[in-house]
A and B are shown apart, each in its own frame.
Chain A
Amino acid sequence: MAVAQRKQEATEARLSAMAVPEGGAWITEARGAALARLREMGLPERRDEYWRFTRPDTLNQHEAPVADTLDTQEAPLFDGFERIKVVFVDGVFDADLSDDLSGEGLSIERLAEAAQSDIHWARDVYGMLEAAGQDPVQRPFAAMNSAFATDGVVIRVTGKVERPVSLIYKHASDVSDAILHHVIRVEEGAELTLLENGPAAARFNKLMEIDVADTGAFHHVRAQGRDHERRAVTHMFARLGTESVFKSFTTTVNGVLTRNECVIELTGDDAIAHVAGAALGDGDFHHDDTVFITHDAVNCESRQVFKKVLRNGATGVFQGKILVKPGAQKTDGYQISQSLLLDDDSQFLAKPELEIYADDVACSHGSTSGAIDEDALFYLRARGIPKDIATDLLTLSFLAEAVEEIEREDLRDEIIGRLEGWLERRRG
């Protein structure tokens, strides 16, 4: 088996340059298991089914490709919001820049600390949701993350927490290669809003496991930093209990390579999962959303809304799946992925999939790729709006369906303001 052997050799070569961090008994076991998983599956290759559209080589190579940090004058995102700031610089927690990590109904610990203890509640989640999400599609960078992550946060939510937890990823070194792993457990009836923003590192591997108990709610708004040359591979693995809610939105502007995977398992009846993304790509931009939602309970709702605006040779990828297991009746599954191509050089590659083993379900999916609506453009211009501004208005309107997935109005406005500002500066 030449292929398997080559893959194994490449994987071993890469692993030889990495060290599993030290820790207490529970995490050492989890890391060991993750490493074994990674060895078993090997690092991804172009020919792997879910890597056909996205080249994994720069993610595989030993050292992170150099990525300059972008100097912007604009105010940091979510500035002025009441929140608990947790700051990482090149993937390392920075206590001085962070707020006091305590809040009512909430416990936040550094992974590095939680990892020292011999026993911890996070043992039931860390690497566990990731491992469960490896079947039927393998996600080697997730296993790599569970094995090698040195930092991150471990959050347990026991009440309805108003103040969002805000993870901020600063990028300082142009060769930083960061691996972060977060674990979040939202207990029964509890609620958390998690914010994430920042370019993070030259190369960033981030994984988040989110365990939402019955009637818990998790809201997530993420803006991936705009450094042009940064690379990121991120995973979210979520397990949703009865009547729980999971809503995640991501906006991405710039970045030479971004692969965002989201794996959700609806395990309790009447649960809701929404994932949305709005990406703006210009030039050397490759953005990949790979989503897998499994319905394994009755009367659950899932929604995937992904929009990408691409120009000057930018590439967008969407691989989205809804799997409805036997017995998951009354499933309501919706998936839409759309791209707006502002020129002929840009491309959108989509692989929408439905796999249904229950008979009483309503699932729909659609994927489109199109140019700007000429009639709308003319209408705006006929009212005196210059072509570039009109194009930007239509760009925002195209993204609106995804942005509207953000439930909290102030957060939604913040994201819209960001997108507007970016487009405005781009117009010059």
Chain B
Amino acid sequence: MLEIKGLKVKLEEEDKQILKGVDLKVEAGKVHAIMGPNGSGKSTLSYVLSGKDGYEVTGGEASLEGEDLLEMEPEERAAAGMFLAFQYPVEIPGVGNMTFLRTAVNAQRKARGEEEMSAAEFLKEVRAKAKSLKIDADMLKRPVNVGFSGGEKKRNEILQMALLEPKMCILDETDSGLDVDAMKLVSEGVNALRDAGRGFLVITHYQRLLDHIKPDVVHIMADGRIVKTGGPELALEVEQNGYADILAEVA
């Protein structure tokens, strides 16, 4: 599904190398988790994969189902099946959430040569999916993320994911800011999407999310590299001992 080889990335504006050769492969049907200290480059990796400006790829490659991601515009990546649930979802005053969601779904359908959804069809779909995430009608009417609480923003990300049905889902700290119940809701939303044709990359600092969304593989990222890969037990180890031991071991 997602294949990253030796990916090196620096900031465009300054001479700062952030990713120093990332190797990672997420197979269809699998959930991979990435943990790692603050500032190790996890969000940067997710941004570079989804096409954000401001980064320069200085080496390596990244592909989604064999297609070179790095050559594509952000919207093309999205249409190809890439989805990033943002660590910090952006507020967009003046654009209604509903308008935004429908524009996104139809733009992707159009790009893939599929029929656009009618307003009525779409409304039905949104209502059903919003309900299971406990997103009320008012949140759908309001401008995108404006005045949403931290947890509401995260649920709105998962709603978008559920509507867009991407192939490759990257979740960047979707658990941060969620209360216990919301964490369960969001996890259920993610688990409902798990299937043989879809890959997940879950970035998190805490084992708690991984109790709900059970990963197949856990990676530790440090200083711009994946320094250790293991099974779910690796996350438990981090939870108990922090990163010191692991970092010492690979140093």
Contact = CB atoms under 8 A, between A and B. Distances in A.
A192 to B, nearest CB: 29
Contacts of A385: 75, 103-104, 107
B92 A384 contact: no
Contacts of A394: 92, 95
A378 B53 contact: yes
B79 A384 contact: yes
Contacts of B164: 383-384
B143 interface: yes
B95 A381 contact: no
A378 B91 CA distance: 12
B107 A386 contact: yes
Interface in A8-65: none
B73 to A, nearest CB: 7
B75 A397 contact: no
Given A385-B103, A385-B107, A400-B94, A379 B73 contact: no
Interface stretch (B82-90, B182-190, B194-202, B226-234): B82-90
A386 B95 CA distance: 16
Nearest to A383: B104
A378 B92 contact: no
Given A379-B89, A379-B90, A393-B100, A384 B78 contact: yes
B95 A396 contact: yes
B108 interface: yes
B90 A384 contact: no
A384 B111 contact: yes
A393 B78 contact: no
Contacts of B90: 375-376, 378-379
B50 interface: yes
B174 interface: no
B160 interface: yes
Name A's interface SS. helix
A389 interface: yes
A374 interface: yes
Nearest to A393: B95
B86 to A, nearest CB: 7
A380 interface: yes
A397 B78 contact: no
Interface string A304-328: 0000000000000000000000000
Interface of A: 374-376, 378-387, 389-390, 393-394, 396-401
A382 B92 contact: no
Contacts of B74: 378, 381-382
24 contacts: A376-B90, A376-B92, A380-B92, A380-B100, A380-B104, A381-B51, A381-B74, A381-B78, A382-B52, A382-B77, A383-B100, A383-B160, A384-B78, A384-B164, A385-B103, A385-B107, A387-B75, A393-B99, A397-B92, A397-B93, A397-B95, A397-B143, A398-B94, A400-B94
B160 to A, nearest CB: 6
Interface pairs A-B: 6 shortest CB-CB: A397-B94, A400-B94, A384-B78, A384-B108, A381-B74, A383-B104
Contact of B75 (A375, A376, A381): A381
Given A378-B90, A381-B74, 5 more contacts: A376-B92, A382-B51, A383-B100, A384-B78, A393-B95
Interface string B46-65: 00001111000000000000
A389 B107 contact: yes
Contacts of B160: 383
A389 B78 CA distance: 15
Contacts of B50: 382
Contacts of B53: 374, 378
Contacts of A390: 75
A399 B111 CA distance: 28
Contacts of A396: 94-95
A385 B77 CA distance: 11
